[in-house]
Amino acid sequence: MNEQWYYLQGSTPTGPVDTAALTHLIQTNQLAPAVLVARLGSPNWLSASEAFHMASPALPHVGVIGSARSGIEKIAGTKKLQGFSLSEMFSEVFKHRTAEELDDYFIVGTYRTTPRLQDVPTGWPKPWFFWRVLTLFGSAYLAILFAYVQFGTSTLIPGLEMFGALVIPLTLVFLFFELNVPRNVSFPQVLMLMCSGGVLSVGLSLVGYQFSNLGWLGASAAGIIEEIGKIAAVYLVLRKKQYNYILNGLLLGAAVGAGFAAIESAGYIYTARDGNSAADFVNITTLRAVGNLFNHIVWTAIASAALLRAKGTQILKPGILLNSSFLAAFSIPVGLHMLWNSPIPDFFNLKTLILGVVGWYVVFGFVQQGLAQVDSCKRDLERVS
């Protein structure tokens, strides 16, 4: 009863407290039985219900959504979100920043500018710069779109293609860059990976289409072929790099996925000019742009985070691609992609929204796990020092 424990409030460890105090917090409903706890000196986090053999909340009473969420968490290898709030996370979006703050914000990721692990915050991040990117590129897209609709000038079409293909991929790359709290990846590296990884993943996917013989699956075959192509590209570009954090995996996977999404979207927008009216062309272009919020970038971020979680501090070797926890989590983007391309009707874009919510829920589950990993590394460093 005198053992000391930490427990997570959101993604911030609190404590230590002794066993009696911790169980009292749970019994008085100040903490849920599912709260993650870790014994003092142990890097392993588990739910309080597992640690103290308490009764977990009964799943039959949580409904279909709760059961589905629990199933997704089990496949992904993540935990229920604790202390997560979208409004709180994005509460600094409109905060005024000085020119010096803007300059300093991206001077990170080199051996001189990466912050010490002890100085890395492990609470839920509060990204803000991504919104400025969305506002800038989104406004440019809407301005060109308005001019095209008003004047019908065909020379504006390449501008629509460029901004339509890039506005969401670039926005989400900045968002994932801000979620990477260790700040150990420079933004030039991210942009280079977006370019090289995007081209490489498209090429690998085209080879996959050539030799896979999955045509009998119809459009859903893309869920297997393209997700394998993208994670193969992630593996190839990262195999000699020493990135060990789950949050690094989210960022680097998002960069590869963003490159793939931009190339694919540009292609679809280009072909939409043939056989469609100007109104239909505008609708297709806009839907392709908005759809990037929920597809390739999110899917590749999940797969890459699962890959780096399985890798840990090892060197990235081919055998890690056969790791059971990686394969389980990898089945999520594959499944989401297959459903996205399936012939299931998308009434009022409900299918898109549901698949998007699932994908982002898994992403935030990995963010929470990544923050706990960073905190565990910090505590290990403190014990050594």
Chain segment 266-285, per-residue pLDDT in tens: 998 888 878 778 788 888 88
Alpha helices in the chain (DSSP H): 19-27, 48-51, 63-76, 86-89, 99-105, 129-151, 157-179, 187-211, 221-238, 246-271, 278-291, 296-311, 324-341, 350-384
**Cα torsion angle, 177, 8, 383, 369, sign:** negative
pLDDT (average), residues 43-71: 69
pLDDT in tens, 284-296: 888 888 999 999 9
Q: DSSP state, 321?
A: G
pLDDT (average), residues 333-344: 97
Of 374, 112, 361, nearest to 245 by C-alpha is 374
pLDDT (average), residues 92-119: 89
For residue 37, pLDDT over 70 is answered with yes
The pLDDT score that the predictor gives to residue 281 is 83
Residue-wise burial string across 264-297, b where 16 or more C-beta atoms lie within 10 A, e elsewhere: bbbebbeebbeeeeeeebbebbbebbebbbbbbb
For residue 137, pLDDT over 80 is answered with yes
The pLDDT score that the predictor gives to residue 385 is 64
pLDDT (average), residues 254-269: 94
Cβ atoms of 256 and 198 within 8 Å: the answer is yes
Contacts of 331 by beta carbon, 8 Å cutoff, 6+ apart: 75
The pLDDT score that the predictor gives to residue 371 is 93
pLDDT (average), residues 79-88: 86
Backbone angles phi, psi at 277, to 5 degrees: -70, 170
Confidence of residue 29 (pLDDT cuts 50, 70, 90): confident
Fold held by 1-57: Dna Ligase; domain 1 (3.30.1490)
Of 2, 5, 11, 44, nearest to 26 by C-alpha is 5
The pLDDT score that the predictor gives to residue 77 is 94
Contacts of 25 by beta carbon, 8 Å cutoff, 6+ apart: 7, 17, 31
| Average pLDDT of every residue of the chain | 89
Q: What percent of the chain has pLDDT over 70?
A: 96
The more confidently predicted of residues 102 and 384 is: 102
Cβ atoms of 181 and 371 within 8 Å: the answer is yes
For residue 57, pLDDT over 80 is answered with no
d(CA 133, CA 168): 9
The pLDDT score that the predictor gives to residue 185 is 94
Other C-beta atoms lying within 10 Å of the C-beta of residue 1:
6
The pLDDT score that the predictor gives to residue 10 is 67
Distances (CA, A) of 129 to 14, 122, 175: 29, 19, 7
Q: Which stretch of 126-140, 144-158, 256-270, 325-339 has the lowest confidence by average pLDDT?
A: 144-158
Report angle CA 6, 8, 10 to the nearest 5 degrees: 160
The pLDDT score that the predictor gives to residue 188 is 93
The pLDDT score that the predictor gives to residue 60 is 40
The pLDDT score that the predictor gives to residue 353 is 95
For residue 63, pLDDT over 80 is answered with no
What's the pTM value of the predicted model, to 2 decimals?
0.84
Boundaries of CATH 3.30.1490.40 in the chain? 1-57
Rg of the chain over Cα atoms, rounded to whole angstroms, equals 22
For residue 217, pLDDT over 60 is answered with yes
pLDDT (average), residues 32-41: 81
Confidence of residue 240 (pLDDT cuts 50, 70, 90): confident
Contacts of 176 by beta carbon, 8 Å cutoff, 6+ apart: 250, 251, 254, 255, 297, 301
pLDDT (average), residues 367-383: 88
For residue 61, pLDDT over 80 is answered with no
For residue 180, pLDDT over 90 is answered with yes
